[in-house]
Every structure is written in C-alpha cells, then in structure tokens.
Amino acid sequence: MSQTINQTLPNSEKIQHESRFLKAARREPVDAVPIWLMRQAGRYMPEYRQLREKYSILELIKTPELACEVTMQPLQAFDLDAAIIFADILPPLEGMGLELDFVHGEGPVIYNPVRTAADVERLATPPAEEALSFTLKAIELARQALDERAIPLIGFSGAPFTLASYAVEGGSSKDKLHLKSLMYSEPRSWHSLMDKLATVAGNYLLAQAQAGAQALQLFDSWVGELSPQDYRDYVQPHSRKALEIAKQAGVPLIHFGTNTSGMLTDIRDAGGDVIGVDWRIDIDKAAAILGDSVAVQGNLDPIALHAPWSELEKRATDILKRMHGRNGFIFNLGHGILQTTPVDNVKRLVDFVHEYTKV
Ligand code: CP3
C-alpha cells in the first residue's frame, strides 16, 4: 500500500518535474533558489507552542494526525519549497531497546545508555514498519496534504555517529567522553554498534521513501567532533552503509553535518546527492572543495535570524552571491532554527531568497 503513494497522488508527477527543491537536488536549473529550514517546525512558532501545551513532543511525534499538523504549520506560514516530516532523530533508539524521554530543560535522556559489549549485543534492529509505523503513517498523511500544494516532503534519520552519541552518552554531551572512550578502547563493540545503527537508519530512510517521502536527509550533527582520520576509520563505512540502503529508494539523499570544514570530501565520499554545510566555511569555498558531482545546501548561521533585517539581508545576499550561477544550490541554515527566532524574520528571509534569485 505505502509502496505506491508516489504514483497514486494526482500531483506526484508534477512535483517530481517542477519542484525547485527537487530540481536543485538533482543539479538542474531552477526558476529561483529553493529554501527550506532545518527544524522549521518547532517552538519558535506560536502554533507549535500552543499544541505543546496539550501534548509532549513524543505524543506529537507518535500521533500521525498531530505530526502531520505540525509538519504543515511552517508551510502555512511561509513560502517554503519543501516540508520535512515532524519527528526526531531519537525514536529509532527506542525500537532498539533504549528508554528515551525528553526532560524539560535538559533535552533528551536515555535512561539505559550503551556502555559495554553486552549492551551493544542486546540492541535490536527491528524493521521501521514495526518500530516506527507512526512516522510512516504521518508521512502518508503529510503527502496527501502537501500534494494539493505541489510541495515535496523530506524524510530523515540521524546518522550512525550522531545516534551513537545519544545512545552511549545517554543524552546531550559536550566532549563525547564515553562515546570516544568506547570508540578508542573497544573497536569491535564500536563497529558492531555502528553497524546496527547503520542498518536501522538505512532501513528507516528507505521505509520513509516508500511511505511517500520524496527526498531524505541524514543528520550527522555531531560528526565534526572527530578528526578526519577518525571519521574515515570509525564512522564513514557506517554512514556509507546507511546511505547505500537508502539509495535503493531512488530519491535525492542529503548528507548533513556541522563543523565539517576539514572533512568535506570525506563526508561527500560516504554518499549523498546533496551535502549540507554549516556557516564555519564560505559556501563557495565548500562548493569548490565538494566539486560538481553533488549539490550543496546551507549555510546561514541560525543566530543571524535574530539580527535586524538589514544585517540578515546582508548575510543572505552574501550566500546567494557566492552561489550565483551554480546549479544545485539549496538555501538553508547551517544548523537547526533556534526557539528564540523571530517569526517575522523567517518570513522575510524566505521571500527574499525567492525575490532576489528569480530569473
Ligand atoms: O526540521 C523539522 O522541522 C523536523 C523536526 C526535527 C526535530 N528534531 C523536532 C524537535 C528534526 C529534523 C530533528 C532532528 C534532531 N533532533 C537532531 C538533528 C538536527 C540537529 O538539530 O542537530 C538532533 C541532534 C535531535 C535531538 C534533539 N531533539 C535534541 C538535542 C532536542 C532537545 C533540544 C531542544 O531544542 O529542545 C530535541 C527535541 C526536539 N526535536 C524539539 C523539536 C521541535 C524541541 C522539543 C520540544 O518541542 O520541546
């Protein structure tokens, strides 16, 4: 049933051919630069905060009708070129046997973190259809809602390293001490853990495309904590495996990380049609390093959205000038939008990117 959603919705073909987001991901010419924003649904929006008064974040994620509603909130408020399914990178860890909660003021917590070989051994790798059916159902609903407006939907997963960082640390962590200790001192357990995470992430991405997602993003938010050599030795094969599984879907794959200026070609070589970069490098420089075989997504500092419009406009213009004339550019932030972001600046930015680049 879910396999066929791409074909059965009336506007599916039109979206494939006309969406400027999908065209840019395929490095085809566009009528204006496409823009979407990482974490575009969330607490900076009053509509979202209102729903959060009644429901926890996990309730929102696990109730397909609510997840669909939240997915649509930024599309109703702004002229964005893509939607991203409302979910989080952490629920797949629950299916593997970890106890997850989001604790007010602390962020995510895993009550039984992975620390030993036995802990790794115990981790399950259930199919996404079983463990994450709520998000797959939410994707089907969101596709129906978006089809009327001919807007494509992005599915996503955390990458093995970023998932491992939560699984091993038990929550957010600055120095990743437990994570790197496991990596350096127990390489066999490390690779076994990463292989299980790659299986879960890859299959989850593939299942999201089969449920209707027209592009997929792998978030490796914390990968910049590693030296490039450690990335190549301990992480890259596993990200490659996840992306290879997802590739079977035949939709564009976005591979995103932060603090990756020193390892851009390594990230690219792990896979992905589009590489997401942060603001710690000039975007044209990143594009030159990455070369013509991939599209580029980025890279405004999310804090710039807090600046007066004239400053924000200056920074957005700089990025657009640097990428002028290059096929395969998707405007985005260099990392997720912050909860303190003024909604009005988001609206102005989205409209500005279109107006400034319209051909
Ligand atoms: O982009 C979107 O609109 C889709 C939704 C989305 C969320 N999380 C919703 C969310 C996406 C793509 C994510 C990805 C995610 N989650 C990442 C990778 C991207 C990144 O920002 O680095 C990571 C590392 C997480 C883990 C996570 N989830 C953390 C660290 C937190 C707590 C921090 C915080 O902002 O509170 C979350 C919670 C979370 N996920 C929120 C949202 C909207 C806020 C929770 C709330 O509503 O209270």
pTM, full prediction: 0.96
Radius of gyration over every alpha carbon of the chain, rounded to an integer in angstroms: 19
Looking up tokens 């406009």, which residue turns up? Answer: 313
Q: Is 268 a known active-site residue?
A: no
pLDDT of residue 1: 42
pLDDT of residue 2: 47
Catalytic residue selected from 20, 27, 39, 143: 39
Looking up tokens 């200056």, which residue turns up? Answer: 314
CA 205 → CA 87, 246, 248, 267, 355, distances in Å?
13, 6, 10, 18, 33
Q: Is 79 a known active-site residue?
A: no
Beta-carbon count within 10 A of 320 CB: 17
Q: Is 166 a known active-site residue?
A: yes
Q: Which two tokens stand for residue 267?
A: 């990230």
CA 298 → CA 38, 106, 307, 343, distances in Å?
10, 28, 18, 19
Choice from 50, 54, 88 to test ligand 1 binding pocket (greatest atom count within 8 A of CB)? 88
Catalytic residue selected from 27, 44, 81, 88: 88
Q: Mean pLDDT of residues grouped by 10 in the chain (359 residues)? A: 61 92 98 98 98 97 98 98 98 98 92 97 98 98 96 98 98 94 97 98 98 98 97 98 98 98 98 98 98 98 98 98 96 98 98 97
pLDDT of residue 5: 59
Residues 6+ apart with CB under 8 A from 41: 48, 70, 71, 73, 74, 84, 86
CA 235 → CA 66, 194, 223, 225, 325, distances in Å?
35, 8, 9, 12, 34
User: Which of 279, 57, 239, 67 shows the shortest CA–CA distance to 153?
Assistant: 67
pLDDT of residue 359: 87
Contact 2, 142 (CB under 8 A): no
The continuous run of DSSP H or E covering 124 comes out as: none
Contact 274, 296 (CB under 8 A): yes
